[in-house]
Each structure stands twice: as structure tokens, then as C-alpha cells.
Amino acid sequence: MRGFLRVSPSFLGRRYQPTEGIGPFSSKFYSRPLSQDSTPPSQSQPPNLQLNLPAHSAPFPLRTHNCGALSALDAGSRVVLTGWLLPERKGRLVSFFPLKDSFGTVQLIVNHQDANHGMESLSDVPVESSILIEGTVLLRPPSARRPGPAGEIDVQVNNFVVLNPVNTAMPFVPSNPYNLPNEELRLRYRYLDLRRSVLSDNLKKRSRVAHLVRSTLHDNDFVEVETPVLLRSSVEGAREFLVPTRTGPLEHPSFFALQQSPQQPKQLLIASGAVDRYFQLAKCFRDEDGRKDRQPEFTQIDLELAYVSWGPTDAAQTTWTNTWRIGGAEVRKTVESMVKRIWKEVENVELPPEFQVMTYHEAMSRFGSDKPDTRFGLEIIDITENLPAVDRMEFETNKEILECIVVSKSNTPDFVQASRKCERDPAVEPFNISEKNLSHWLLRSKILGRLSRGPSNPSEDSAINEINKKLQLSIGDTVWLARRSKTPKGGSTALGRQRLNLFEYALGSGALKLPEDPHFLWITEFPLFTRSDDDKEFLAKGRWTSTHHPFTAPMWQDIEAMYNGDIESVRGQHYDLVLNGVEIGGGSVRVHDAAMQEYIFTNILKLNDEEKAPFQHLLHALQCGAPPHGGMALGFDRLMSILCKTASIRDVIAFPKTSVGTDLLFKTPAPVAPDVLGQYSLQPQGQ
């Protein structure tokens, strides 16, 4: 007869002596016989465990089922299961033990009477030990049945063997969700943290979505191509990770740079004509300063297409909404198709046929953000044109506008409490409208600078009355006031930030309930060039920088302005996809004309010959008949955090870094010995 454990005759009749483990738990291996009233299995079924032996001393049988796969249809079956033993719940006659594997959890039953036949009890096995059991599937009484996998059955344990006991003091018990330590400790022991179902389920969903992405793109004639990760350092984006190599001359250390994105390789791939449509799930690396919920290495769904349009034609206007006035409609169609399939198959949610489109200028004017959350109102209102004449002239001279958000007691009651208690942006001035100040509240504004001008005159009173009508002000309302430059800059305005302060407080207090449907939104027509932010100033050195990257094409309507030096007015053929106020992807139509690309490098970005050197191969490829092309990258980690409804992308990555870029599990980054550095002609600073 085949047994669970195949052993030599010298072991027969001999009992395995358990050894003492480290910490509070004993390192034991257990089995127990069938109960006296159990029916022995047939020859075709797994026989009994009769020997108390270490699991590695002899073979053990394969599991017949996963813990999450059993149902009422399996009642009466003999099964072999494996998994981690969870805490016992004792009854008067029986004990219940959850057994968990990566597929689910099943409840084991052990009769107290059966536990007294000379073998140790399952109760003595340390929690979280890896065990194998042989048992019989029992149908629960109707009153005890629960919905969901394995909710209608239990498994009565006939035999068990401990495959690997917990023999050390665990820093925490992952099966106890009510007593988890802080995230720092859990990241240090990530291999234990990943036993939690919430994290393992996230990884499974991530795998499923990755499969859907590949399937959708393959169905649309995309070819998956891997591009190099080790590239040359360039000035196209944020700080890079440098990789030293011993291949160069010792007196001049040489370095690779880990790719920030596959931008140049994918453009060269399309220029080659080898593929018409490319994609990959690409690993990318950025050595950024510590930022909330950022990772130094991340994954993006990367796309590039040949022969994309440069703007709508008359025929296309009947297909695409008029607000999509740039090229790349083919990219838009592909991405929307992919996203709609993901939401349908993973979330069972039907998304609209087309996503809403909004220009950068409109988004900044209405919501004060280049990634607006459109699930709630509080839109910004420009009141510059309604100001008294003297004030209006001042704003026009300074190229500024005056705008506000109104929290209405009647129209936006969800935000009334937030308006009194939320955080205030320092550039914003609040006014609580009362019966006393309704007719002259604006004249008390420090932002407007009217405090020293004395009493109002009839024309000013009339102007304020018109503003009150425009804003539909009532007693008890709150007005948030701010001034800004007429041309929006950056990613947010003061009122845009204040709008989010109001939103976060209202949501956190429970006053605001958001719709369940996701709100997707395209933002287009970004400024092509901007003055650098702090993150890129070390590269820009006061020069113009590309808002996104230097390969983005201008809108064809603005090409003349670009060559005439009106840099600030040039709009790019760039598009961002925003979901519920979070940017999940961005892309653009690329410059495919070598002369235009050279002009941007030299005349606008003011790159010197050394800075242009890393792009010479790209310029030459453009000269060799490269087709018009464009693409996009979607942040896969961010997308998954939204699908998994988790606040941090660390919850959808198997082994993430902390917010400051350190790995507490593998203890990286770490110093390298001086003799190793010497092989790369490097030495620690100061030596």
C-alpha cells in the first residue's frame, strides 16, 4: 500500500523524537490516526498517515484540491489539502481550524474525542505552520452555511503532517488583521505580510489585469518588444540611476543609466519600420527625492504607434469630440478600448463609449488643476470682468485675474462644515457672508488691496451687487478668493489646492459621498515649454524646459509662433489620462521632422553640443524617413492601486520601497567596499 511517507523498515514502529525549536514554539512534526468510526479509504484514495516523521524524511502526497476550490459538490470526498494553519476556535465537542493557502481558506474540524489516541493534537501545532491534512468533506447544516468559496462545507481531519513548523518568534501574525504592526515593520518582513489575503489578492488582480492588457493589445495588432534597460545618461527628464561599468578606460569611469522610460528605444523601433504598433510592460527607474507614494522603480504600460494623425480632419470631427483638437486620436482609441475592457472584466462596470476631453486651460480655469477630480463640484468662477473699473484696470495691467469658489449653504451643503474647518492655502482669502457685509464684502479684501481706499462709491456698490448676483450669494455662504496670473502655469492654482482641501475634509468627515462610477478625463493642449520646476532646475539652469519631454510635437496651429519666438504660447500635442483626480497616464504625438527636433534642442532648450550628443542617433533616424508617430505610457502601479481601492501603490507591488526609496527587507541601498569601487575607478568622497 502506498503511504503518505515512504520510509525504510528501520523506521517502522519507531517514534520520531521532536527537537526543541528557537523561541516560544517547539519544532514538532505531527500526525494522528483516523478516528475509530472513520471509514478507511479505498486503494485509489490517499491512505492514512500512520508515522510521526519529519516531512523531509520521506515523500508526501500531492494535494488534491486548493483550499478555496471545495464546495457542496465535494461533500463525502476524501481530500488532501496543504496550507498554513490559522488560530483555533474551540467548541464543546470539536475544534475548528482555518487552513489557508493562496487560493482561499477552508475550515477544518477535529473531534476532541479523536484527539486522544496517543498522537499529538493539531492544537499543539504553532499558528502559521505549513501543514498537510487528509480529511473528509462534510456538508454544513443549513443554518451554518455561508456565501462564498467553501462556505457550505467543512473538512473533518483524519490525518495530518507538519511540513514546516514555525520554530521562531514571529514579529507579527499576518492572520490577525486587528493587531498588525506599523508599515515599516511589515515592509521589513514583507514575506510574512504577503500572506495577508488583501495583499495576495492585489497581486492576483495585478496579474489578471496584465493579462488583459496583453490580450487587448495583441488583438489590436500590437507587438510586444523588450527594449534596453541600460541606456545612456541624458537631460530628458528627472534624475537617473547611474550604473558603473568596467568596460571603459580606468582613468575615465564609464556609466550606464537605468531607463527613466523606453522613450528613445520605442521611437527608434517605430522609425525602423520593424513594427507598426509596439507595447511592453516596462520597468522604469527614477532617482527622485523622497515623495509621497512614489517608487524609484515602477512599471508602465508603454505604447507607440506609427502613422498617427496630427489633428482631426473634417471626417474625423464626426467621430471624435471637437475638444480633441490635437493628433493621436489612434492612441486615444486604443487606450480607451483597453481601459474599458479592464473595467468591464475586472470590475463589471460599463464605461462610456468615449471619455470626456478638456483642455489644460479649461481644467486650470474651472478646477485649478491639470488633473481635476470631476466627481464633485466647487468650480472656480472668474469675476475679473465684474470688478469696479479701477480694479479691473489694475488686473489687466498686471495680466492677472481674480477668481473665487463659493461654498453655498443651499447648493453645496456637503462642504459647509469643511469651509469652516479645513486647511487654508496661504494665497487664498475666505469671506463668510453675513447680513452686515453682503453689500461690501469684496471691499474688505486684502487680496484686492481696497482697505486703504476709503468708503465705496455708487459705481463700486453696483459692481459688487452684480458680483453677488453672478455668484448667487446668500447669507451663510462662504467665498474663497484668490488672484493669479492670467496665463495658468504649473499643475495647480491656489484655488485649485483649496478646492482639494475642502474636498478632503468633507470626504474625511463623512459629509460628502462620492459616486461609485469612475470619472475618466483626457487633458490636452498643455503648454509645450515651461520654466523648470525645482526638480529639473539642476538640469535646466534657467532655460526653457519641455513640459513633458523634448520629443513632443507642437500643435500645427502653433508652429509659426514657435519659430517666431513666442515660446510661452505654444501648445503641445500632449494628452494625460486622469481618473478621479489622479493622473494614470500620459503621452504625445512626437516630432518626426529632424529639422524641427534640432531647432527645439538648439534654439529653445539651448542644449550645447555635449547635451545634444545622446540624441544624435534619434536625429539621424528621423532623417531616414521616420513615420509620424505617437504613443503613451500608463502607470501600471497607480492603475492597480485604484482598481484595488488602496491608498498606496506599495499595496500592489510585491516588494516595494519606502517613500524615501529604501528597501527595508533587502536593506538597500547599501555601501560598497572600497576595493569593489576601485574596479570601476571610483572611490568614496574625501579619499
> For 412, phi and psi rounded to 5 degrees?
-130, 60
In the structure, what pLDDT confidence band is assigned to residue 314 with cuts at 50, 70 and 90? low
- Please give the Cα distance from 440 to 634 (Å, whole number): 49
CATH number, span 9-170: 2.40.50.140
Residues in the chain, total: 687
Of all residues in the chain, what percent carry a pLDDT higher than 70? 85
Position 52 pLDDT exceeds 70: no
For 101-132, how does the pLDDT look when each residue is reduced to its tens digit (9 = 90+)?
999 999 999 988 765 553 458 999 999 999 99
Per-residue pLDDT for 236 more than 80? no
What distance separates the 2 farthest-apart alpha carbons in the chain?
Answer: 111
Question: How far from the centroid of its chain's Cα atoms is residue 108's Cα?
Answer: 37
Q: Can you give the three-state secondary structure of 372-389, one letter per residue?
A: CCCCCCCCCEECHHHCCH
d(CA 439, CA 468): 8
For residue 152, report the phi and psi dihedrals to the nearest 5 degrees: -105, -5
The answer to which of 49-63, 99-113, 125-139, 557-571 has the lowest mean pLDDT is: 49-63
Which helix (H) or strand (E) is 224 found in, with range? strand 223-224
Place of cell 479592464: 342
Average pLDDT, the chain: 87
pLDDT of residue 539: 55
Residue 107 CA to residue 127 CA, distance in Å, equals: 14
Q: At what angle do helices 329-347 and 197-219 cross, to 10 degrees?
A: 140
**By the 8 A CB rule, do 234 and 614 touch?**
yes
Using the predicted structure, report yes or no on whether residue 566 has a pLDDT greater than 60.
yes
Between residues 49 and 223, which one has the greater pLDDT? Answer: 223
Return the residue matching grid coordinates 463609449.
353
Measured distance CA(313)–CA(327) in Å, rounded: 10
Sequence letter at residue 338: M
What is the per-residue pLDDT for 7?
31
- Give the pLDDT confidence score for residue 121 in this predicted structure: 83
**Is residue 364's pLDDT more than 90?**
yes
Pairing of strands 242-245, 356-359: unpaired
Q: How far is CA 226 from the centre of its chain?
A: 22
Residues of the chain with CATH 3.30.930.10: 181-307+629-687
For 427, counting Cβ atoms within 10 Å of its Cβ (0-12 exposed, 13-18 middle, 19+ buried), the class is: middle
For 377, counting Cβ atoms within 10 Å of its Cβ (0-12 exposed, 13-18 middle, 19+ buried), the class is middle
Q: Where are the alpha helices (DSSP H) in 63-221?
A: 183-188, 190-193, 197-219
**Cα 178 to Cα 97, 193, 194, 682, distances in angstroms:** 18, 14, 16, 49
d(CA 216, CA 345): 12
Cell of 37: 468510526
483516523: which residue's cell?
34
Cell numbers for 443: 471691499
Sequence-distant (≥ 6) Cβ neighbours of residue 64 within 8 angstroms:
46, 79, 80, 81
Q: b/e for 661-673, b at 16 or more Cβ within 10 A? A: bbbbeeeeeeeee
pTM of this prediction?
A: 0.86
Instruction: Using alpha carbons, list the distances in angstroms from residue 296 to 105, 182, 255, 546, 547.
Output: 35, 22, 18, 22, 21
Q: Closest Cα partner for 415 from 499, 517, 473?
A: 499
Find where cell 459688487 sits.
464
Name residues whose C-beta falls within 8 Å of residue 398's C-beta, 6 or more positions apart in sequence: none
Residue span(s) of the chain under CATH 3.30.1360 come to 376-509
Q: Name the β-bridge partners of 153.
A: 139
DSSP readout, 550-613?
A: TTBPBPGGGHHHHHTT-GGGPBBSEEEEEETTEEEEEEEEBP--HHHHHHIIIIIS---HHHHG
What letters, b where the CB count within 10 A reaches 16 and e where it falls short, cover 450-462?
Answer: beeeeebeeebee
Q: How confident is the model at residue 44 (pLDDT cuts 50, 70, 90)?
A: very low
* Residue 56: per-residue pLDDT: 65
181-307+629-687 maps to which CATH number? 3.30.930.10
Strand partners, 583: 578
Q: Tell me, what's the pLDDT at 288? A: 79
CA distances for 237 relative to 162, 567, 587, angstroms: 53, 20, 14
- What distance in Å separates the CA atoms of residue 525 and residue 359, rounded to the nearest whole number? 6
Residues contacting 268, CB < 8 A, separation 6+: 617, 618, 621
Strand positions, DSSP E, 307-459: 356-359, 381-382, 400-407, 429-432
- Is residue 476 within 8 Å of residue 419, measured between CB atoms? no
Is residue 582 scored above 50 in pLDDT? yes
Question: Does the pLDDT at position 12 exceed 90?
Answer: no
Identify the pLDDT of residue 621.
Answer: 97
Indicate the CATH number for domain 376-509.
3.30.1360
Across the range 140-154, mean pLDDT stands at 88
DSSP category for residue 175: T
Q: Are 586 and 575 in contact (CB under 8 A)?
A: yes
| pLDDT (0 to 100) of residue 535 | 53
Lowest mean pLDDT among 292-296, 480-484, 513-517, 626-630: 292-296
Residue (of 633, 24, 646) closest to 338 by Cα position: 633
Using the predicted structure, report yes or no on whether residue 202 has a pLDDT greater than 50: yes
The ranges of the chain annotated as CATH 2.40.50.140 are 9-170
pLDDT over 50 (residue 338): yes
Residue 682 vs residue 592, higher pLDDT:
592
Residue at 603: amino acid letter:
N
Give tens-digit pLDDT for 634-643.
999 999 999 9
Lowest mean pLDDT among 56-60, 269-273, 640-644: 56-60
Cis peptide preceding 142, ω within 30 of 0: no
Alpha carbon distance 196, 550 (integer Å):
44
Which helix (H) or strand (E) segment holds residue 501: the answer is helix 494-509
pLDDT, mean of residues 235-249: 81
Average pLDDT in the 500-519 region?
95
DSSP letter at 29? -
Contact yes or no for 604/562 (Cβ under 8 A): yes
Amino acid at 237: G
Describe the strand order of the beta sheet including 429-432 as a list of residue ranges: 381-382, 400-407, 478-485, 429-432
